[in-house]
Amino acid sequence: MKPQHIAPFFATLQAANPHPVTELAYTSVFELLTAVLLSAQATDVGVNKATRRLFAQASTPQAILNLGLEDLEAQIKTIGLYHSKAKHLLATCRILVEQHAGRVPRTREALEALPGVGRKTANVVLNVAFGEPTMAVDTHIFRLGNRTGLAPGKTPLAVEMGLLRRIPPQYLVGAHHWLILHGRYVCQARKPLCGQCQVAAYCSYKAKTTR
């Protein structure tokens, strides 16, 4: 993607969705962290169904610990990899209670020290909960970074670094949401809906397919 196309690319996405938000349901920073931790290899719809049940019974680190492993697994068993996710969530809750007074920390280092929390999850929490200009590269953003020519890279970290360098500062906080939603509903993996794409004029992939 040409440098002069990047700002209008994001300006167009912003105009269509001025206040983008995650599709994960949450009412606190801890609920957000829990939902993101559970979302690996699962859809937001599936996670929301499970967390709706879970948060009705336990919505704080201590309450999750009080559930115990067996009851926690029963609440999230509809989500893939629920055995390992339940263990990670319990271990994370224990650290939050013992080391952070039950609060979710605001630094990358402390977030990534939590079991089951990697760079992508930390980036989501820092961006969504705390308004930090981070870029959580999931499969959608990785695909868009390469397909559109916005930030080509062979690894998620390479795409993340490229996006942080190329996206104008005024769009960085919302860019994570705009790109995920665009990848989920328009620039889909198997068959991108280029005919419905509002930013096709700025996209390297669209330019290649129309030559």
Rounded percentage of the chain residues whose pLDDT exceeds 70: 97
Work out the mean pLDDT of the chain and round it to a whole number: 94
The amino acid at residue 165 is R
From the number of C-beta atoms within 10 Å of its C-beta (0-12, 13-18, 19+), residue 48 rates as middle
The catalytic residues are 120, 138
| pLDDT at residue number 40 | 87
pTM, two decimals, is: 0.90
Q: How far is 90 from 81, CA to CA, in rounded Å?
A: 14
Q: Is the pLDDT of residue 178 over 80?
A: yes
All structural domains of the chain, each given as residue ranges with its CATH number in brackets, are 3-20+134-209 (1.10.1670.10), 29-128 (1.10.340.30)
